[in-house]
Amino acid sequence: MPELPEVETVVRTLAPHVLGRRITGATLLRRQSLHPLSLPLERLRGLVITGARRRGKLVLLALAPDADSERPSLILPSLLVVHLRMTGRLLPRSAEAEAGPHTRLILGLAAPDGEVRRLFFDDTRAFGQVFAATPGLLGQWRFWRELGPEPLELTRAGFSRRLAGRRAIKAALLDQHVIAGIGNIYADEALHAAGINPKQSAQTLTAEQRGRLLDALKAVLRLSIAQCGSSIRDYRDADGNVGAFQNSFAVYGRAGLPCRACGRPLEKCRVAGRATVFCSRCQPV
């Protein structure tokens, strides 16, 4: 399940495959995989991919009209936004590659020398979406408008301010309005590293605890990015490679196994509707 470190890795590995290439066509194989606010994907044709970056868990490909293309009469997208959700993958393939059972979108991509390849958006569970957008359309997307700050750029004061409210601290970490990019894996890992119980009310955290939690969150995200993310089941980067951070999990997926810090068996519960693993000794209530 791609969270911030996995999406960061996808963007980094995808960039050399797509930057400077012109979109020769788009084939959408599942209507619901297109965001309802998206411009028609036919308008991608002729646009050049000029940038690849990440915001939260979103992949953002910057688009620009070809230098020698005529002035268009239609509004053209300046951004292709991809939300991988649970099982989405962006896979560079040859021009001859054909759609698999879970292929949702195929883009044709031509290099400046004319060599054509394809970019596949495959998504087994079909939760992911693509969105051909303009800044104006993004502004209409509530999720985008209200997306919280990047955790790696967040200060302690900023983090503290965003933790208002009485709900469980884990629920706050998972809320993309509070911070962008955190999912179930990194919420559990950061809470364990900081020694904070996932069900503790965000409001009752001391300033020291909040500071420790933000530091732990940044550390776990940076460590995972350095290891190209975590591969649980479906996640692969754009080169088809798995990450290595799953080998460093302290709690995620380790219920019943001994805590790496104290040896007590890890416990499992549900917080905010999500499976949650924690150590009752290292993360007391």
For residue 133, what is the enclosing H or E element?
A: strand 129-133
Print the binding letters for residues 212-251 with DNA: x by CB under 7 A, - otherwise: ---------------------x------------------
Q: Is 2 a catalytic residue?
A: yes
- The answer to whether 264 contacts DNA (rule: CB under 7 A) is no
Residue 205 Cα distances to 54, 146, 179, angstroms: 30, 24, 17
User: Could you tell me the smallest distance in angstroms from the CB atom of residue 81 to DNA?
Assistant: 12
- The answer to whether 114 contacts DNA (rule: CB under 7 A) is no
**Contact yes or no for 72/39 (Cβ under 8 A):** no
Q: Is 258 a catalytic residue?
A: no
Q: Is 3 a catalytic residue?
A: yes
Residue of 17, 43, 89, 102 that binds DNA (CB under 7 A): 102
If the CB atoms of residues 114 and 135 are measured against DNA, the closer one turns out to be: 135
**Contact yes or no for 92/61 (Cβ under 8 A):** no
Print the binding letters for residues 147-186 with DNA: x by CB under 7 A, - otherwise: ------------------xxxx--x--x-x------xxx-
User: Please, which of residues 42-81 interact with DNA by CB under 7 A?
Assistant: 56-57
If the CB atoms of residues 65 and 127 are measured against DNA, the closer one turns out to be: 127
- The answer to whether 1 contacts DNA (rule: CB under 7 A) is yes
**Contact yes or no for 109/24 (Cβ under 8 A):** yes
> In sequence order, what are the beta bridge partners of 61?
52, 80
Q: What is the DSSP letter of 72?
A: P
User: Could you tell me the smallest distance in angstroms from the CB atom of residue 46 to DNA?
Assistant: 30
**Contact yes or no for 190/217 (Cβ under 8 A):** yes
- The answer to whether 34 contacts DNA (rule: CB under 7 A) is no
- Among 55, 218, 274, 281, which one carries the catalytic annotation? 274
- The answer to whether 125 contacts DNA (rule: CB under 7 A) is yes
- Among 21, 57, 117, 212, which one carries the catalytic annotation? 57
Tell me the torsion sign for CA atoms 11, 77, 125, 92.
negative
If the CB atoms of residues 218 and 274 are measured against DNA, the closer one turns out to be: 274
CB count within 10 Å of CB 118 equals 20
**b or e along 237-252 (b: 16 or more beta carbons within 10 Å of the residue's beta carbon)?**
bbeeeebebbeebbbb
Q: Is 72 a catalytic residue?
A: no
**Contact yes or no for 258/264 (Cβ under 8 A):** yes
Q: What angle do CA 207, 182, 125 make, to 5 degrees?
A: 160
**Footprint of DNA on this chain (CB under 7 A)?**
1, 3, 32, 56-57, 83, 85-86, 101-102, 124-127, 142-143, 165-168, 171, 174, 176, 183-185, 233, 252, 272-275
List the catalytic residues.
Answer: 2-3, 57, 274
